[in-house]
Amino acid sequence: MTTIECKNLSFKYEQDYVLSNIDFKLKTNSLYVLKGDNGSGKTTLCKILTGLYDNYEGEIYLENRDIKKMNRDELLNLIFYSAQLTPVFSDTLSNNIFLDSKITKEQENKYFKMIKFFSLDELEEKEIIDDGSVSGGQKQKIGILRALFSNKEILIFDEPTANLDKQSIKKLVMIIKKLKETKLIIVISHDNTFDCIASEIIKI
Ligand SMILES: Nc1ncnc2c1ncn2[C@@H]1O[C@H](COP(=O)(O)OP(=O)(O)OP(=O)(O)O)[C@@H](O)[C@H]1O
Ligand SMILES: [Mg+2]
């Protein structure tokens, strides 16, 4: 079963601790909403979970394996982190969403359904999109769909609603609610958008 366990996790970039004695146990088929003030360490925690920093104190277990003993590829096979700012590559919309993974017929059908659902048709019609010509909300949607189509067991969304309009936020809640049935999901959010579908709200 997919689980993440943090035991007494502390981390500092320089002298001051950014994270102090964090403890939690997360399991699949659940949605965890991570809250905390600007600078409280939410994004840092995600970076640690995805193996970007390993000079932390305490222990982190993924599926009961110490992540310090896993290589980065093993970690990234399990976790997809959708960052606060999604970079867009100069390529088609579908390559921007599927990245390097193979596309099955079933996924292709789902892709067109999601593009329509999330009002990205306009970008789908363009041959090439790039970072400078895509709006903030569209970038965010690309990041969300990247996570959705990544097929990873653990999906982390870092402030996914920041650039979305009201209608798109409602749609995102529907998407996350559905994903929650099969995945372990962490959503970082400053507002109450996801509280009603959360398994647990974690404050750091
Ligand atoms: N690479 C770095 N080097 C030094 N300090 C850093 C680095 N990255 C982040 N920090 C500091 O660590 C603290 C936590 O940053 P982090 O990005 O994790 O916060 P956050 O909770 O995600 O905030 P926000 O809600 O604004 O996104 C901040 O004080 C930040 O300035
Ligand atoms: Mg952040």
Closest CA to 151 of 84, 90, 112, 97: 97
Structural domain of residue 77, as residue ranges? 3-203
Following CA atoms 142, 148, 151, 157 in sequence, which dihedral angle do they give, to the nearest 10 degrees? 90
CATH number of the domain encompassing residue 159: 3.40.50.300
Among 162, 187, 190, 163, which Cα is nearest to 38's?
190
Lining ligand 1 with CB less than 6 A are 13, 18, 36, 38-44
Kindly report the number of other CB atoms within 10 A of residue 51's CB atom.
19
Residue 80: Cβ within 10 Å count: 22
Say how many Å lie between the CA of residue 79 and the centre of ligand 2: 17
For atom 7 of ligand 1, the residue with the nearest CA is: 13
> pLDDT tens digit string along 167-197?
999 999 999 999 999 999 999 999 999 999 9
Residues 15 and 23: their CA atoms lie apart, in Å, by 22
Cα–Cα distance between 204 and 9 in angstroms, integer?
12
Q: For the chain, what percent of residues have pLDDT higher than 70?
A: 100
pTM summary value:
0.95
What residue owns the CA closest to ligand 1's atom 9? 44
Ligand 1, atom 1: nearest CA belongs to which residue? 13
Residue 135 is encoded by which pair of tokens?
Answer: 């709006």
Q: DSSP 3-state assignment of 89?
A: coil
Count, residues in the chain: 204
Rounded-to-integer distance, Cα 180 and Cα 185, Å: 6
Residue type for 109, please?
Answer: N
- Nearest residue by C-alpha to atom 27 in ligand 1: 38
- Which pLDDT value is given to residue 101? 81
* Mean of pLDDT values over 40-63: 96
What is the count of structural domains for the chain?
1
Helix 136-149, helix 105-117: angle, nearest 10? 150
Which atom of ligand 1 is closest in space to residue 40's alpha carbon?
21
Q: What is the pLDDT of residue 141?
A: 97
Q: What is the rounded distance in angstroms from the CA atom of residue 2 to the CA atom of residue 89?
A: 31
Each residue's pLDDT tens digit, 141-170: 999 999 999 999 999 999 999 999 999 999
How far is C-alpha 173 from the chain's CA centre? Answer: 14
Average confidence (pLDDT) over 11-36: 97
pLDDT score for 8: 98
